[in-house]
Structure 1
Amino acid sequence: MKKLALLLFFVSTSILGQQLPTNFVYLNELAPSIQIELRYLGTHNFIGKPIDGYIKNKLIVTAPTAKALIKVQKQLEPFGLSLKIYDAYRPQKAVDHFVRWAKKLSDTLMKNEFYPKVPKSELFKQGYIASKSGHSRGSTVDLTIVDAKSGSPLDMGSPYDFFGKESHPLHQQLNKTQKANRLLLRNLMLQHGFKPYENEWWHFTLRNEPFPNNYFDFSIQ
């Protein structure tokens, strides 16, 4: 544990010249076996464009969150499985980008893939877009489970970031495999101190997050 604590401190203060706030770390440096695909860095997301504040494919979380995720990963590895993380720390400027986009009702480039049944005018009302996000506190992650070698995700019954009831964790119109896969992810995350979000199977927040009232805005680079 002492070695891990020292490594967390080193990574949090000196990776590639970027000074992170105290108690933030680069998870990709601590746990390179965890797969990363920051969707908001590229164009495969519900807006269809890179999002403000995402500059490099690096995954930033608080140090306690990193420790917990490493424990989850260690439980998956003997079975040839791995975590794959789509988003973690999210700067406030990215959330502001979402809000601006949601107000521009004519921009529906990615509607067919990500929100086919939800009118864009309803995204705020239905809770899919908000002016603040727990991600900006650094202890929330969006993730799934994949085959460690191929990177193929387990079938969770709906794509990541899909706006609809199909993404609710306990959605009943799933087959047995999809239900089992969601339950596996949920149980592992609960076991290691995370709490789920009722509308998204992929979304978990560390229960004892170190910054429950702080929203950060430094870029991911």
Structure 2
Amino acid sequence: MRGRQPSAAAIVALALVSATTMAGPASGQAAGLPDGFVRLRERDPSIRQDIRYAGPFNFTGRRVPGYLAAECILLRPVADALARAQARLLADGYSLKVYDCYRPERAVRSFVDWAQSPEPDRMARVFSPEIPKSQQFALGYIAKRSRHSVGTAVDVGLVRAGEPDLPTPTDAGRCDGPFAGRARESSLDMGTAFDCSAPASATAATVSPAARANRDRLVRALAAEAFRNYRLEWWHFDFTGPTPPQRAWDFPVR
């Protein structure tokens, strides 16, 4: 049990206050982060979090190097923009749920090593049932550089505002299979599970009417705050608004 859920009105009020108030220090240094970074939980606690690479339920089957805690960290303008999108969605009865935010460079390197190694793909039946890991570079599912390491990219889904938090899954059926057999991430069908290496993950892919409506709602809410979707992954968005000078980072998520 996680305690009593706040009312929908209380959730909306919290998000609206968060979206208009610059809470916390102007610099991430006071929170043990490089200057300019913030923890999303401190910026907007109403946004759900399930940071997958901090645990073993991800396409590598193990905790990813650099993730010492399940925390979403972003550059402040990116977190502020997410909070504004969240306020808009909460007013309509929905909520954002983030799966990955800032990603250390060592994590990106570990993905490259995983894709190039001869070790069996133990999680293929869940996350990549049809595409071998050796093909995922060429098809655009894995890259040697990531805007996640800059702090301007976010992997995010959609849930109903009033639904209970779901624990991180420990197992699931194939990510592009029927909704009931996929990883339990939301009561809303998004067409595939998060981090699914499959054609159905493309944002414009043919999916059920309900999944299409949910994808469109997510894209509209984030596009209004200067986020651009990556066409092969309905969950991946890059912030295109103004930010401090950008560089890739390798500090751990903690």
- TM-score scaled by length of structure 2: 0.80
1:137 aligns with 2:137: no
Distance 1:186 1:8 in 2: 30
Distance 1:168 1:212 in 2: 30
Q: Name the residue aligned to 2:29.
A: 13
Structure 1 residue 33 displacement after superposition: 0.9
Distance 1:147 1:205 in 2: 23
1:69 aligns with 2:53: no
Structure 1: stretches of 5+ with no match in the other structure: none
Contact 1:105-1:120 within 8 A present in 2 as well = no
Percent identity between the two aligned chains: 37
Structure 1 residue 79 displacement after superposition: 3.2
Contact 2:55-2:62 within 8 A present in 1 as well = yes
Alignment partner of 1:60 out of 56, 73, 76? 73
Distance 1:90 1:110 in 2: 21
The number of equivalent residue pairs is 215
- Residue deviations 1:58-95, cap 9 Å, x none? 11000100110000111122333211000000000000
Alignment partner of 2:94 out of 81, 101, 112? 81
**Alignment-mate amino acid for residue 58 of structure 2:** N
Q: What is the root-mean-square deviation in Å for CA atoms of aligned residues?
A: 1.8
Structure 1 residue 131 displacement after superposition: 1.3
Q: How does 1:49-128 map to 2 (within 5 A)?
A: 49-128=62-141
Distance 1:209 1:155 in 2: 32
- TM-score scaled by length of structure 1: 0.91
List structure 1 segments (4+ residues) > 4 angstroms apart after TM superposition: none
Contact 1:137-1:212 within 8 A present in 2 as well = no
Q: Name the residue aligned to 2:238.
A: 205
Q: Name the residue aligned to 2:248.
A: 215
Distance 1:153 1:31 in 2: 22
Contact 2:43-2:80 within 8 A present in 1 as well = no
Structure 2: stretches of 5+ with no match in the other structure: 1-17, 166-185
Structure 1 residue 120 displacement after superposition: 2.0
Structure with higher helix content: 1
Distance 1:204 1:94 in 2: 18
Distance 2:78 2:195 in 1: 21
Distance 1:135 1:114 in 2: 20
Structure 1 residue 213 displacement after superposition: 4.9
Contact 1:8-1:63 within 8 A present in 2 as well = no
